[in-house]
Structure 1
Amino acid sequence: MQLIKVTKTLVFIYALNKEETHTFDKKQVISLIYRAWRNYILEIVAELKVLGKKIANFNSFFAGYSPDGADIYSSTVLKNSFVFGLNELFDLGLSKHEMIIVFQKGEHHFAIVKYGIHQYANMFGMEKNALLLDCRTIESQPYEIYINGYDLILVNSNVKYDLSESTYNNRREACEKISRLLGVDIIKDSTKENLDHIKNKLT
């Protein structure tokens, strides 16, 4: 990926291996229908604007050779790359934690997907460590893991992963409904006994 400041009036993005481009006015960032990687970048620019972070126009060139939803074209990798790159290019002064919030709120406000923690491992992951993440405080603790004697197998299912087209919001709303029934902020604050008391109310 390359990011370059420009004096032009528009932002220009070029996905090299796809030979696809997108040009937009950062003063009027509008979500696109079925435009995949373009929306990932627009989300970041829109949320930086909400936070009052000033960025000038720029050109960007990037490449990745995995299918949509994977590698550089996954929302996690592309958004993290852009928020990190723009932070450096324009001296925005964002910490890694603040960049995670930009990513998360961008999905909430722009993509209308109540998600945004899956990028945490991409930003804070440590070699030979697992992260215990508290999604309420968005803080984590690394724990060293030992997997000697085990093999990890990655399988390409050829199923496109796209939260904006999934039922993730429905599943989250179901969890929030159960939390209200339990009288807690989030389900992790409950106990098995409390769940047993409301199981007849669940369908």
Structure 2
Amino acid sequence: MTDLAARLSAGFAAAFDGSPDGVVRAPGRVNIIGEHTDYNDGFVLPCAIPVETRIAWRARPDTTVRVVAIEFANEQDEFDVAQPIEHAPDGGWRDYVRAMIATLVKEGRTLRGADLAIVGDIPRGAGLSSSASLEVAVGHAMLAVLGETPDATKIAVQAQTAENDFVGMKCGVMDQLASAASVADAALLIDCRSLDTRAIPIPAGTAIVIIHSGVVRGLVEGHYNRRRAECEEAARILGVPKLRDATLDMIAAAGLTGDVLARARHVVTEDDRVIAAAEALASDDLRTMGRLMADSHASMRDDFQVTVPKVDELAATAHDLIATLCDGQGGARMTGGGFGGAVVALMPESGVEAVTAGIRERYRTPAGEAPEIMVARAVAGAGNVD
């Protein structure tokens, strides 16, 4: 993270002169299993990963917020927290910053002005939650200006509200809660109804490998919100608050058909897979974990229909290599909301070199290049940087 720290320090000084009062960080996340279950009040099993957003902050004596985004050619934004916060004329990253601050204000916080410099190394469009990381980091920074440390669950819910109501992306709470509350060296089993979390230790010697398909996602412009609406329609027909409350027997008895049937079947079976996966991971049973990951990917491909051919190809390639080179100890699946992005794989550390070499040999992105591959570990959630 030395490069992030150096770029952040230089970027802050160039934009605002002087030094910040403090620095906060919020990691990205990879979801090991449990896709499109969070907004159905179900279960998910993500972990935070070492790529992150950092914000250097300095309190101001007024109510003006000035922001510089170092990753976006030092683009800037400025607005007043004492006035109604509207969408930025140019949208983009500015709206995520404004969304989080507007949500804090709407919930009754009296905020102070601040100078904020933002830097990050989360690949955008890879399904690793760069937007949630930014929202959580902004919340930490604005509350740090007030001398406060946020409650992890509360800041995650506020970040979700920001994305739902201001940005217009009807996501669940998984990404934000994983960024805010994850535990080092563990996956985080999240009950998305109660928001209870339980750390599931990742067995020593197990590698988390993230492979970018090269297909960049765009969920707001894509079909994510439509999938959510289809899930809500299925729950309405079944007479349950959310699909978390449904069963396969209920689905069969209700006579659901077409897309609504398929969406409901994915969510119900995916919830079951998450619980089974948490048990398998806690028992160091990578063989069962691999089977569950393969079943999850097939369900997202066939029932939820959020994969794309290149992602299917990459997941199959990774899974086959793990089966051959790691004796089936592990597996692979698409991770994130879909329509592109990355594949996540679990495998013994001893197999990483051979498996990743095989992926680079066998898979090419749409641009004809070898894929970007990250070998990650599970890190702690958001907080201050010393």
Normalised by the length of structure 2, the TM-score is 0.48
Is the 2:157–2:177 Cα contact (8 Å) retained in structure 1? no
Structure with bigger gyration radius: 2
Q: Partners of 1:128 and 1:11 in 2: how far apart? A: 36
The letter of the residue matching 1:136 is R
Is the 2:140–2:149 Cα contact (8 Å) retained in structure 1? no
Deviation at 1:157, TM superposition (A): 2.5
1:6 matched to 2:63: no
The letter of the residue matching 2:78 is T
Match of 1:181 in 2: 237
Higher mean C-alpha displacement, 41-50 vs 150-159: 150-159
Is the 1:107–1:116 Cα contact (8 Å) retained in structure 2? no
Deviation at 1:183, TM superposition (A): 0.9
The letter of the residue matching 1:123 is A
The letter of the residue matching 1:138 is L
SS at 2:76's partner residue? strand
Q: Partners of 2:229 and 2:200 in 1: how far apart? A: 31
Deviation at 1:71, TM superposition (A): 10
Is the 1:65–1:71 Cα contact (8 Å) retained in structure 2? no
Task: Name the structure, 1 or 2, with higher relative contact order (CA <8 Å, separation 6+).
Answer: 2
Q: Partners of 1:70 and 1:64 in 2: how far apart? A: 14
Match of 2:343 in 1: none
Match of 1:52 in 2: 108
* Structure with more strand by fraction: 2
Is the 1:4–1:60 Cα contact (8 Å) retained in structure 2? yes
Higher mean C-alpha displacement, 32-41 vs 65-74: 65-74
Q: Partners of 1:164 and 1:90 in 2: how far apart? A: 32
Is the 2:96–2:134 Cα contact (8 Å) retained in structure 1? yes
Structure 2 counterpart of 1:132, from 181, 185, 189: 189
Q: Partners of 2:150 and 2:210 in 1: how far apart? A: 33
Q: Partners of 2:89 and 2:232 in 1: how far apart? A: 28
Is the 1:37–1:73 Cα contact (8 Å) retained in structure 2? no
After TM superposition, which residue ranges in structure 1, 4 or more long, deviate above 6 angstroms?
70-73
Deviation at 1:196, TM superposition (A): 0.8
Q: Partners of 2:129 and 2:194 in 1: how far apart? A: 28
5+ residue gaps, structure 1, are: none
Normalised by the length of structure 1, the TM-score is 0.87
Deviation at 1:104, TM superposition (A): 1.1
The letter of the residue matching 1:110 is F
CA RMSD of aligned residues (A): 2.5
Q: Partners of 2:231 and 2:68 in 1: how far apart? A: 39
1:141 matched to 2:198: yes
Deviation at 1:198, TM superposition (A): 2.5
Is the 1:69–1:75 Cα contact (8 Å) retained in structure 2? no
The letter of the residue matching 1:121 is A
What is the aligned length? 202
The letter of the residue matching 2:77 is H
Structure 2 counterpart of 1:195, from 219, 239, 251: 251
Deviation at 1:53, TM superposition (A): 0.3
**Cα deviations by residue, 1:27-58 (Å, 9 ceiling, x for unpaired):** 12112366321111001111011101011111
The letter of the residue matching 1:40 is Y
With over 3 angstroms needed to count, the CA separation of the structure-2 counterparts of 1:105 and 1:158, relative to structure 1, is: same
Match of 2:367 in 1: none
SS at 2:230's partner residue? helix
Deviation at 1:153, TM superposition (A): 2.4
1:16 matched to 2:70: yes
The letter of the residue matching 1:126 is V
Higher mean C-alpha displacement, 114-123 vs 63-72: 63-72
Q: Partners of 2:62 and 2:129 in 1: how far apart? A: 26
